[in-house]
Amino acid sequence: MGIRFAKISVGLAIGMLAVTAFTGCASNDSCATGRTGSDCGAPATTAASTTPTNNGGTTNSTGTGITTGAPGAGGTSVIAPIIIDPTEISGQVVTVGLNNVIVISAGTTPVTSFTATVGEPTIGKFVPGKVDGSATFNPGIQPLAAGASTVTITNTDTGVSSLFDMIVTP
């Protein structure tokens, strides 16, 4: 009876972890990496590093994914976004896979205070930041086709702009 109870308890604990993993966290929850958002995919509101990152622990600028779950057991491929700090990206080259995104880390600036212009609009488009109820979504650049383009990000609160080169790989 004691062993059966222990197995049930362990099974319930594993089930609760699985439910938590599949449902993500609410925007007011704190994720393990300090990110917030309805799917824990938005970057933390602290300054990002100088180098574009992906919050996945491995370099992911070409759009390769991270697999969750046991291999061969129906795991899901998850691609971590490339996160840039608009105050430090000027003059840099950011390589992003066609199936990935570039997230502009707003830091303490309101997410609605950014605009961006993609020099070649067939290569990528700006996605504005927004606040939707209790969820906050950072602005970003969505790749549309393989190629290269310049991108200009402007903070409308300060008028400061940053220019960088974006290379989208297939």
CA dist list (Å): 81 to 7, 15, 78, 95: 38, 28, 10, 12
For residues 13-25, one letter each, b for 16 or more C-beta atoms within 10 angstroms of the residue's C-beta and e for the rest, the string is: eeeeeeeeeeeeb
Domain range for residue 164? 26-169
How does pLDDT run across 109-162, given as a tens digit for each residue?
Answer: 999 999 999 999 999 999 999 999 999 999 999 999 999 999 999 999 999 999
Q: Which amino acid is at 32?
A: A
Q: Is residue 121 part of a domain?
A: yes
Q: Is residue 16 part of a domain?
A: no
What are φ and ψ of residue 87, in 5° steps?
Answer: -80, -10
Q: Is residue 11 part of a domain?
A: no
- pLDDT at 72 (0 to 100): 54
Tokens coding 15: 């089930």
The count of structural domains within the chain is 1
